[in-house]
Amino acid sequence: MAARIDIAPREEQDCGMATVASELAEGPAVEADRPQEATPGALDARAPTFEGPTPEEIQVPVMLGLDRAITALITALPPLLVALAGWRLWNRELHLRDVLIFLVLYAATGLGVTVGFHRLLTHRSFKTSGWLRGLLAILGTMSIEGPLISWVADHRKHHAYTDRLGDPHSPHVDHGGGWRGALRGLAHAHVGWLFDHAQRGARERFAPDLLADPVVAFVDATFLLWSLLGLAIPFGLGLLIGGTVAAGLDGLLWGGAVRIFALHHVTYSINSLCHFFGRRRFATGDESRNLGWLAPLSFGEAWHNNHHAFPTSAFHGMSRRELDLSGITIAALERAGLVWDVQRIAPERRAAKAL
Ligand SMILES: [Zn+2]
Ligand SMILES: [Zn+2]
């Protein structure tokens, strides 16, 4: 298990947007207006000058009860359907077409999240045209990980306050000590934070650029439409290949429910496991870690210590042995002339931060 370290204030924020967020975080301290959680003694003892986020940086929940009910449904329904898929697998009722539909949908929506939501829209690690930005935004939205601007606001806040008060999903802040605290922290970072709106990133503060981008704002506002399209496509593929409604339902089961379950938990594992288990290659001042076995499933996002060291890098895998399918995709799109200004980190900068 990872040892807990003291977390010093960031020496350098490599992420452009996190820098914006950090600057915002350093705004005038309005102690009286701070929420109660903003000044816990333990944190003050560790970093006496650290103020935590201002109230304006925390997203005010809208229809909290409904939000939690929908989150509960999206979290609980896929595992139930995964059990049904497991039962069908046991009865040898899995077809090759179901496996193909699963793989196509997993790759398309997974890369939508990693290449689109994360590396393009959160960190601006490359530039592209409006149509490809819109396509990546739609594919990512089909993963049903929430409206994309909220996703980006939460993730930029994670980079601005990594493993400190203000991080929406750190396993290390305010969860107590010992094994119990560790398990509570991991549960919070994995899925619990989705139900807890105390530290969500305010969209206006953390993603004003995306709110002003008509393509991204449209996909964000029509989140439900794309989520449903992500279910209609596997049903349609099953129907088309298998020729029956039953084959369509099989497609929906594997390319819809099982795919959503798998991608959700791989994404959640970056927030939980990759801040807890694995190796640290660079000095980042936080608990981010590289977890090799998760890299192929997460399209390279599990090189998470590399990512926290160099957030704007389009490539999270930083050696030949660090498989990064998102980085390979971006390099291929660059060769095809579809993306440009791809951010790479010079060897000297890597060496300067290497442990
Ligand atoms: Zn992280
Ligand atoms: Zn990031």
Q: Is 7 inside a domain boundary?
A: no
Q: Is 120 inside a domain boundary?
A: yes
What's the token pair of residue 309? Answer: 């060291």
Q: Is 10 inside a domain boundary?
A: no
Mean pLDDT, each 10-residue run in order, the chain (355 residues)? 36 43 34 31 43 79 78 81 80 87 97 97 97 97 93 94 89 81 86 81 93 96 95 97 94 94 94 93 93 96 96 95 97 97 95 93
Per-residue confidence (pLDDT) for residue 135, from 0 to 100? 98
Count of other CB atoms within 10 angstroms of residue 69: 11
CA 92 to ligand 1 centroid distance, Å:
39
- Give the three-class secondary structure for 299: coil
Per-residue confidence (pLDDT) for residue 214, from 0 to 100? 96
CA 98 to ligand 1 centroid distance, Å:
33
Please give the Cα distance from 265 to 75 (Å, whole number): 10
Please give the Cα distance from 346 to 325 (Å, whole number): 20
Find the domain containing 84 and state its range: 16-51+64-353
Whole-prediction pTM: 0.82
Q: Is 59 inside a domain boundary?
A: no
Residue type, 21: A
Q: Is 57 inside a domain boundary?
A: no
Q: Is 224 inside a domain boundary?
A: yes
Per-residue confidence (pLDDT) for residue 43, from 0 to 100? 35
What's the token pair of residue 37? Answer: 């959680």
Q: Is 8 inside a domain boundary?
A: no
Per-residue confidence (pLDDT) for residue 49, from 0 to 100? 62
Residues with CB under 5 A from ligand 1 (ion): 288
Per-residue confidence (pLDDT) for residue 80, from 0 to 100? 79
The number of domains in the chain is 1
Per-residue confidence (pLDDT) for residue 151, from 0 to 100? 95
CA 122 to ligand 2 centroid distance, Å:
7
Q: Is 58 inside a domain boundary?
A: no
Per-residue confidence (pLDDT) for residue 300, from 0 to 100? 97
